[in-house]
A and B are shown apart, each in its own frame.
Chain A
Amino acid sequence: KQEVTQIPAALSVPEGENLVLNCSFTDSAIYNLQWFRQDPGKGLTSLLLIQSSQREQTSGRLNASLDKSSGRSTLYIAASQPGDSATYLCAVIGGSNYKLTFGKGTLLTVNP
C-alpha cells in the first residue's frame, strides 16, 4: 500500500527566503507525482506535475525534483512571498495505485 509522507508538517519563514518542502513515498512504481497548493477552505491548485521519467519540473519560482528510486521529491520555492502562505500537498499515482495518494501536507507561513 502506497504511503506518502511530507516533512515538515509546518514551516514558518521570513519573506524573501528560499525554502524546500519534502515528500517521500514508499512504492517507487509511480506513474507521476503532482504538487498542489491549498488555501484555507478552498480546493487544490495544481502547481507541478512530474512524470516518472523526469527528474525535475520548473514553473516560475517553483522547482520540483523527483528521485523515483529513493522515493523522494522536493519542492523548492525561491524568494518566498506572503502570498505563498498555504498548505502544500504532494500526491503520487501509478503502478497498482490507480488513484492519487496524498501526503498530509506542509503548512507554509511566509511572514512579511
Chain B
Amino acid sequence: KAGVTQTPRYLIKTRGQQVTLSCSPISGHRSVSWYQQTPGQGLQFLFEYFSETQRNKGNFPGRFSGRQFSNSRSEMNVSTLELGDSALYLCASSFGTYYEQYFGPGTRLTVT
C-alpha cells in the first residue's frame, strides 16, 4: 500500500511570490491535514480537509489556503511569501479526524 506522497520535496522561492504544494493521501483516506514545522515553533496545525470540505483551520493568516479534490488529493497555497514561511510542510492522511494519522515526507520550502 503506497504511503502519503508530497510534491515537490524541495522548493526555493523569493519573498513576495506564491507557492502551491501537493499531497496525495493513502488510498481510501478521505481526511488530509497540513502542518508547518519550524525549529522554533515545532509542529503547528494549518488546516484539515475531509471530502473536499475544510473542517478545521489553525491560527495562520489568510495567505495560507488549501483545497481538496474529489480524489482526496490536496493542495496548499501560500501567497505573498515571507521569510518566516520557510519551513517543512507536512501533510497527513487518515480515515477521519480522530483516526491514526500517517504523514508524508514533507516539502522543504525556503524563502529568500
Contact = CB atoms under 8 A, between A and B. Distances in A.
A93 B33 CA distance: 13
B55 A98 contact: yes
Interface in A7-63: 31-32, 34, 36, 41-46, 49
B97 A42 contact: no
Interface residues of A, number: 23
Determine chain B's interface SS by DSSP, over half rule: strand
Contacts of A101: 45
Interface residues of B, number: 24
Given A32-B98, A34-B100, A102 B106 contact: no
Given A41-B108, A43-B106, A44-B90, A102 B43 contact: yes
Contacts of A34: 100-101
Interface of A: 31-32, 34, 36, 41-46, 49, 89, 91, 93-94, 98-105
Interface of B: 4, 6, 33, 35, 42-43, 45, 48, 55-56, 58, 88, 90, 92, 97-98, 100-106, 108
